[in-house]
């Protein structure tokens, strides 16, 4: 059952071949066995999950089940979920039990899905290896000496280890796609504004976007159908017609124009990754696609631009964590300023503090124009590159990450090396475009390689079609790590 | 040598929306602490702001009422600083792109001293922008602990910034009062200064004529016009003394202490925050279409200045009367309702409202909205003066009775027998009787002692028991005494 697609699982549940309680218990048992080592979940509440499963079974019995009713999902711990500890991977929120549901959580709840637990993540989604979590590092099920990627590393690890049917992620600079690539699973970051950010703890508001992660494109389409949609509580949520993201899954790819940006295959790309990605592109040619050489000249600036804008927004977004109303407060302090300083110095980890300092600096009087404004201008140039490119192609493809999963601790003391692992993903967030990663083979050390598919605005259905057709022709996505 | 005073105002008006500027929580004043603090007011992780359209409409109204440019596109920015009453660690405000651009307000200034005459002045308004209020720190509820009440956090404010166009405390107070009248007039703010709905920050500097602007100090949070005047007077003198004694004024934020009548520095420029303003990525730029602007314009009442001009040109009132009658919307509405009863007697309406009505209201400590006599009732009295049913003194008696006991003018006139005699036959008979009884005095009058006319008026009025129409009585007396 755990290798079934979501639609197969849903069908089995509705046909009463298995109950949601049984399916949920199956995953809870696996989690009890495997999570202590992988550390993919921060919070597990079997009684709460089983209560939801029971309610789902009642709904199935009543004949009002929907596509996802009764299916157990993991939820990234960045989403506020009522009565659940919601930590965002930080000591700062070690005691924060949310009084309300994020939009994404209520969408899953309304669909009758089961919440299996809150998945681990880099602290406040800042990291590419899941090593900044206050709740411990997460291990990659393909090689437990290696990172799962980040920041949605708990979600990616849990899916690869079959500790949930699928799970949610969020992506500010690659946090869905990079861990999906490193753990050999599929993940989609939608167009900015497609999924409401309400109740999703903000890192960089203008870049943050929630999306589905799972074992295949078909599953992602079903999840996105549940997650997407206008929400008046998020002013950046887009008012659009509801669409069925699975509608084009089975379209043939004849004549599809795939843009290959030369900048994605330049210096810094691991040769093993390049080989797997090139093989995937060759496979697409067999499926009838046409390859178009394109250029995204400003992509090289995306990391510096990102590391001005994202920390700037983060420095302000994280100001609310001050020890006054909720969350961590230093046990001892002399006065108000001391309480702020100690609570924040003790409550935030090193990477979060580093970004708060960078962000505070670039917004300071006298530096704003040189950093923040300049970065905003380049951001527009980066977006313009894509507008230009889409005049010549339908989707853009390349590697998701320059290397496969690296060793735990390998890049821990070199933040710039760590930042470079998002070099192919960040431009997509800066432009607000949808991007996804699907498994396309294995590199050195037998670690998974991800193929990145970047679509035009609101072209998620086409991207899912492109991914699905590849997954019909290949089996990389159905490989599972050994020993799980 | 004389000094020139330069004053500019920043006024925070609390907009009269039922809910907060970025959430659905109530803005009602005086609730138990934190009972009106929803997830957004508390800045829980993950919550987002959603702009209240009602707050925007009030800002548009203000802009239209001051002839200002309404920005088709304005931007909300975050002003970052830490304070326990600021739950997000930033205030959402507007910085370089405010919703309301340059406008102006014409004020009537009544100089505070000397024989100087009232005059008119136009004060330029630099800008007005939308922002959210902070909560309140509550000190001293329990020992050594400061509480935080976030009921007020997120209450919509319109900050109205003037140019430094005022050059006396009188002008500053006149401007603040005119603004206070205007925001209540157009219904965007309840103007309750005790509850903090209208708070003034006053920037004051002094200079020698022809010199560049002096260094300013900002008096924060004045919540009464009296304090404003006292604070400015004290501050101006302090600055002049400081400079004349060889000192220098340092830029500072200061507070006025009403108990001592003095100002004192709260923080200097060196302590100034770097607020790190940047556009709020959670909110889209605020776009105001021509259509929306015109919809709001259609809801604007006639403005005080337009009314004043109309009262002077069409009703023949003095500029002074017109300005008093438009000092509040209630006053103007009252006046216009009274006027409807006696459309040709605007001056009489004005006199009665500014005289009898105001005097009684003052005596009883009431304001216009609490007047025991409605405008319709007063109109009923004035109508009877106009049609000669009662005399002016009779009308005053009706007014007094009505104030104390209520009732309708005609009923009171009837009950008190105040109807005046306007029947010319009856008046002639009275005059004849008085003349017959005072034949000697008639002779004296006719021989040139005109002063006796008053005696005959008094006697005849007495004979009529005060009910004779005075004008008619005069006329008949004159005619008959002339022989």
pLDDT at B269: 64
Q: Is the pLDDT of residue B142 over 80?
A: no
Residue A373 CB neighbour total at 10 angstroms = 14
Within a domain: A468: no
DSSP-based three-state secondary structure for A166: strand
Chain A nearest-CA distance from B107, in A, is 38
Q: Which domain holds residue A73?
A: 6-249
Share of chain B above pLDDT 70, in %: 98
B24 touches chain A (CB under 8 A): no
Within a domain: A116: yes
**CATH entry, B424-482, from 3.20.20.140, 1.10.10.410, 3.40.50.620, 3.40.50.2000:** 1.10.10.410
Residues paired with B105 in a beta bridge? B123
Subunit contact A320:B281, Cβ cutoff 8 A: no
At A231-252, the pLDDT tens digits run 999 999 999 999 999 999 999 9
Within a domain: A69: yes
Q: Is the pLDDT of residue A120 over 80?
A: yes
Q: How confident is the model at residue A79 (pLDDT cuts 50, 70, 90)?
A: very high
Q: Which residue among A235, A321, A365 sits closest to B51, beta carbon to beta carbon?
A: A235
pLDDT at B472: 84
pLDDT at A483: 83
Nearest to A4 by CA among A72, A59, A51: A72
B84 touches chain A (CB under 8 A): yes
B90 touches chain A (CB under 8 A): yes
At B90-114, the pLDDT tens digits run 999 999 999 999 999 999 898 766 6
Chain A nearest-CA distance from B259, in A, is 29
Q: Is the pLDDT of residue A119 over 80?
A: yes
Rounded to whole angstroms, the Cα distance separating A188 from A464 reads 9
At A34-65, the pLDDT tens digits run 999 999 999 999 999 999 999 999 999 999 99
Q: Is the pLDDT of residue B135 over 90?
A: yes
Which letter does DSSP use for residue A297 in this model? G
Chain center to CA of A122: 11
Q: How confident is the model at residue B165 (pLDDT cuts 50, 70, 90)?
A: very high
Q: Is the pLDDT of residue B38 over 70?
A: yes
Within a domain: A83: yes
Please give the residue that has the higher pLDDT: either A235 or A483. A235
B48 touches chain A (CB under 8 A): yes
Subunit contact A316:B276, Cβ cutoff 8 A: yes
Give which of B46, B273, B283, B284 to mutate to test A binding, by max A Cβ within 10 Å.
Answer: B46
User: Residues 271-290, chain B: which have Cβ within 8 Å of A?
Assistant: 274, 276-278, 281-284
Chain A residues with CB-CB distance to B46 below 8 A: 79-80, 98, 102, 197-202
Rounded to whole angstroms, the Cα distance separating B361 from B369 reads 10
Stretch A146-168: mean pLDDT, rounded? 98
Rounded to whole angstroms, the Cα distance separating B374 from A164 reads 74
Please give the residue that has the higher pLDDT: either A412 or B399. B399
Give which of B37, B42, B48 to mutate to test A binding, by max A Cβ within 10 Å.
Answer: B48
pLDDT at A245: 98
Chain B nearest-CA distance from A310, in A, is 11
pLDDT at B1: 59
At A136-156, the pLDDT tens digits run 999 999 999 999 999 999 999
Computed over every residue of chain A, the mean pLDDT equals 97
Q: Which residue among A99, A235, A368 sits closest to B282, beta carbon to beta carbon?
A: A235
At A91-105, the pLDDT tens digits run 999 999 999 999 999
Subunit contact A235:B283, Cβ cutoff 8 A: yes
Q: Is the pLDDT of residue B264 over 90?
A: no
Chain A nearest-CA distance from B239, in A, is 30
Q: Is the pLDDT of residue B340 over 70?
A: yes
Stretch B268-287: mean pLDDT, rounded? 88
Q: Which residue has the tokens 């300071």?
A: A364
Domain spans, chain B: 4-291, 302-416, 424-482
Subunit contact B46:A79, Cβ cutoff 8 A: yes
Chain center to CA of B422: 43
Q: Is the pLDDT of residue B130 over 70?
A: yes
Give the angle A293-A296-A301 at the CA atoms, nearest 5°.
Answer: 155
Within a domain: A98: yes
B138 touches chain A (CB under 8 A): no
pTM of the model: 0.91
Subunit contact B89:A234, Cβ cutoff 8 A: no
Residues of A identified as active-site: 76, 151, 175
**How many separate domains does chain A show?**
1
Residue A337: partners with Cβ closer than 8 Å, 6 or more residues away: none
pLDDT at B81: 96
Q: Is the pLDDT of residue B271 over 70?
A: no
Subunit contact A236:B284, Cβ cutoff 8 A: yes
For B286, name the nearest residue in chain A, comparing CA atoms only. A235
For residue A151, cis peptide bond before it (omega within 30 degrees of 0): yes
Rounded to whole angstroms, the Cα distance separating A48 from A53 reads 9
CATH number of the domain residue A160 falls in: 3.90.1300.10
Within a domain: A174: yes
Nearest to B403 by CA among B358, B437, B448: B358
Chain B nearest-CA distance from A97, in A, is 11
Stretch B445-467: mean pLDDT, rounded? 87
Q: Is the pLDDT of residue A384 over 90?
A: yes
Residues of A with CB under 8 A from a CB of B: 79-80, 86, 88, 93, 96, 98-100, 102, 197-202, 204-206, 232-236, 312-313, 315-316, 318-322, 324-326, 336, 340, 360, 363-365, 368, 372
Chain A nearest-CA distance from B60, in A, is 21
- A246 near A225, Cβ under 8 Å? yes
Within a domain: A323: no
Which letter does DSSP use for residue A401 in this model? S
pLDDT at A443: 96
Chain B residues with CB-CB distance to A88 below 8 A: 45
At B380-389, the pLDDT tens digits run 999 999 988 8
Q: How confident is the model at residue B141 (pLDDT cuts 50, 70, 90)?
A: low
pLDDT at B131: 98
Q: How confident is the model at residue B469 (pLDDT cuts 50, 70, 90)?
A: confident
Within a domain: A258: no
3-state secondary structure string across chain B: CCCEEEEEEEEEEECCCCECCCCCCECCCCCCCCCCCCCCCCCCCCCCCCCCHHHHHHHHHHHHHCCCCECCEECEEEEECCCCCCCCCEEEEECCCCCECCEEEEEEECCCCCCCCCEEEEEEEEEEEEEECCCEEEEEEECCEEEEECCCCCCEEEEEEECCCECCHHHHHHHHHHHHHHHHHCCCCCCCCCCCCEEEEEEEEEECCCCCCCCCEEEEEECCHHHHHHHHHHHHHHHHHHHHCCCCCCCEEEEEECCCCEEEEEEEHHHCCCCCCEECCCCCCEECCHHHHHHHHCCCCCCHHHHHHHHHHCCCCCHHHHHHHCCCHHHHHHHHHHHHHCCCCHHHHHHHHHHHHHHHHHHHCCCHHHCCCCHHHHHHHHHHHHCCCCCHHHHHHHHHHHHHHCCCHHHHHHHHCCCCECCHHHHHHHHHHHHHHCHHHHHHHHCCCHHHHHHHHHHHHHHCCCCECHHHHHHHHHHHHHC
First to last CA, chain A: 14
Stretch B78-86: mean pLDDT, rounded? 96
B386 touches chain A (CB under 8 A): no
Stretch B286-314: mean pLDDT, rounded? 95
pLDDT at B369: 85
Q: Which residue has the tokens 């006696």?
A: B342
pLDDT at A333: 96
Give which of A97, A320, A328 to mutate to test B binding, by max B Cβ within 10 Å.
Answer: A320
């Amino acid at each position: 059952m755990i290798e079934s697609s979501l639609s197969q699982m849903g069908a089995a549940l509705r046909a009463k071949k298995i109950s949601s309680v049984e399916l949920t218990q199956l995953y809870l048992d696996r989690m009890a066995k495997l999570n202590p080592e992988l550390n993919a979940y921060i919070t597990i509440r079997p009684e709460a999950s089983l209560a939801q499963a029971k309610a789902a079974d009642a709904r199935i019995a009543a004949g009002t089940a929907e596509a996802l009713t009764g299916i157990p999902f993991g939820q990234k711990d960045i989403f506020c979920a009522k009565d659940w500890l919601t930590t965002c991977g930080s000591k700062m929120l070690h005691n924060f039990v949310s009084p309300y549901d994020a939009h994404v959580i209520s969408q899953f709840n309304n669909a009758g899905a089961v919440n299996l637990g809150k998945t681990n993540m880099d602290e406040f989604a800042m990291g590419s290896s899941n090593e900044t979590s206050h709740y411990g590092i997460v291990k990659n099920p393909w090689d437990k000496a290696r990172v799962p990627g980040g920041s949605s590393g708990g979600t990616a690890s849990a899916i690869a280890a079959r500790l949930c049917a699928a799970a949610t992620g969020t992506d500010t600079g690659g946090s869905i796609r990079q861990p999906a690539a490193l753990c050999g699973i599929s993940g989609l970051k939608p167009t900015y504004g497609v999924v409401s950010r309400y109740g999703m703890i903000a890192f960089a508001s203008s870049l943050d976007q929630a999306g589905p992660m799972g074992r295949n494109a078909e599953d992602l389409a079903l999840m996105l159908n549940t997650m997407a949609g206008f929400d008046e509580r998020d002013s950046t949520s887009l008012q659009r017609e509801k669409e069925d993201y699975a509608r084009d899954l089975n379209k043939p790819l004849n004549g599809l124009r795939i843009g290959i940006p030369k900048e994605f295959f330049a210096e810094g790309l691991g040769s093993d990754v390049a080989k797997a990605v090139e093989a995937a592109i060759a496979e697409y040619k067999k499926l009838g696609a046409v390859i178009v050489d394109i250029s995204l000249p400003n992509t090289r600036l995306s990391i510096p631009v990102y590391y001005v804008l994202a920390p700037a927004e983060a420095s302000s977004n994280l100001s609310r964590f001050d020890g006054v109303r909720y969350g961590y407060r230093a046990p001892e302090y002399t006065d108000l300023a001391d309480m702020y300083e100690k609570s924040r110095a003790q409550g935030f980890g090193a990477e979060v503090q580093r970004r708060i300092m960078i962000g505070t600096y670039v917004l300071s009087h006298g530096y704003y124009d040189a950093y923040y404004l300049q970065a905003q201008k380049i951001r527009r140039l980066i977006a313009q590159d894509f507008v230009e490119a889409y005049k010549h192609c339908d989707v853009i493809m390349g590697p998701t990450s320059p290397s496969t999963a690296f060793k735990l601790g390998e890049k821990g003391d070199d933040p710039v090396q760590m930042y470079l692992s998002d070099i192919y993903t960040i431009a997509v967030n800066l432009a607000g475009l949808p991007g996804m990663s699907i498994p396309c083979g294995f590199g050195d050390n037998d670690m998974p390689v991800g193929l990145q598919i970047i679509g035009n605005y609101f072209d998620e259905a086409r991207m899912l079609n492109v991914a699905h057709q590849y997954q019909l022709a290949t089996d990389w996505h159905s490989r599972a790590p050994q020993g799980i | 040598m004389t000094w020139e005073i330069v004053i500019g105002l920043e006024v925070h008006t609390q907009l009269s929306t039922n809910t907060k500027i970025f959430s659905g929580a109530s803005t009602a004043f005086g609730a138990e602490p934190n009972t009106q603090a929803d997830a957004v007011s508390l800045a829980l992780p993950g919550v987002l702001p959603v702009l209240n359209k009602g707050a925007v409409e009030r800002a548009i109204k203000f802009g239209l009422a001051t002839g200002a440019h309404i920005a088709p596109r304005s931007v909300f920015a975050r002003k970052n600083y830490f304070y326990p009453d600021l739950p997000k660690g930033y205030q959402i405000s507007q910085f370089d792109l405010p919703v309301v651009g340059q406008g102006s307000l014409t004020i009537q200034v009544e100089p505070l001293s000397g024989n100087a005459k009232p005059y008119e002045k136009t004060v330029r308004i630099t800008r007005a922008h939308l922002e959210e209020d902070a909560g309140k720190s509550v000190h001293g509820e329990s020992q050594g602990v400061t509480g935080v009440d976030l009921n007020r956090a997120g209450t919509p404010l319109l900050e109205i910034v003037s140019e430094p166009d005022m050059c006396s405390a009188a002008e500053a107070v006149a401007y603040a009062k005119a603004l206070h009248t205007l925001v209540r007039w157009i219904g965007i703010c309840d103007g309750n200064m005790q509850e903090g709905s209208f708070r003034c920050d006053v920037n004051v500097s002094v200079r020698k004529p022809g010199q560049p602007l002096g260094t300013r100090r900002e008096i924060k949070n004045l919540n009464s016009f009296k304090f404003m005047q006292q604070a400015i007077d004290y501050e101006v003198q302090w600055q002049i003394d400081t400079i004349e004694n060889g000192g220098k004024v340092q830029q500072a934020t200061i507070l006025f202490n009403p108990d001592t009548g003095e100002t004192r520095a709260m923080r200097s420029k060196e302590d100034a925050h770097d607020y790190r303003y940047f556009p709020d990525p959670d909110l889209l730029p605020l776009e105001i279409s021509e259509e929306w602007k015109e919809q709001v314009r259609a809801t604007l009442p006639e403005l005080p200045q337009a009314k004043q001009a109309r009262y002077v040109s069409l009703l023949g009132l003095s500029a002074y009367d017109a300005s008093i009658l438009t000092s509040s919307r209630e006053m103007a509405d009252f006046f216009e309702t009274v006027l409807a009863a006696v459309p040709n007697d605007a001056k009489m309406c004005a006199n009665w409202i500014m005289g009898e009505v105001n005097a009684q209201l003052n005596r009883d400590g009431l304001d216009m909205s609490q007047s025991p006599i409605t405008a319709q009732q007063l109109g009923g009295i004035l109508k009877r003066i106009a049609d000669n049913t009662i005399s002016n003194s009779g009308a005053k008696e009706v007014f007094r009775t009505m104030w104390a006991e209520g009732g309708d003018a005609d009923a009171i006139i009837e009950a008190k027998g105040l109807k005046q005699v306007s029947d010319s036959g009856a008046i002639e008979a009275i005059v004849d009787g008085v003349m017959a009884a005072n034949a000697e005095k008639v002779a004296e009058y006719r021989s040139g002692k005109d002063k006796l006319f008053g005696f005959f008026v008094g006697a005849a009025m007495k004979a009529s028991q005060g009910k004779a129409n005075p004008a008619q009585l005069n006329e008949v007396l004159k005619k008959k005494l002339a022989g």
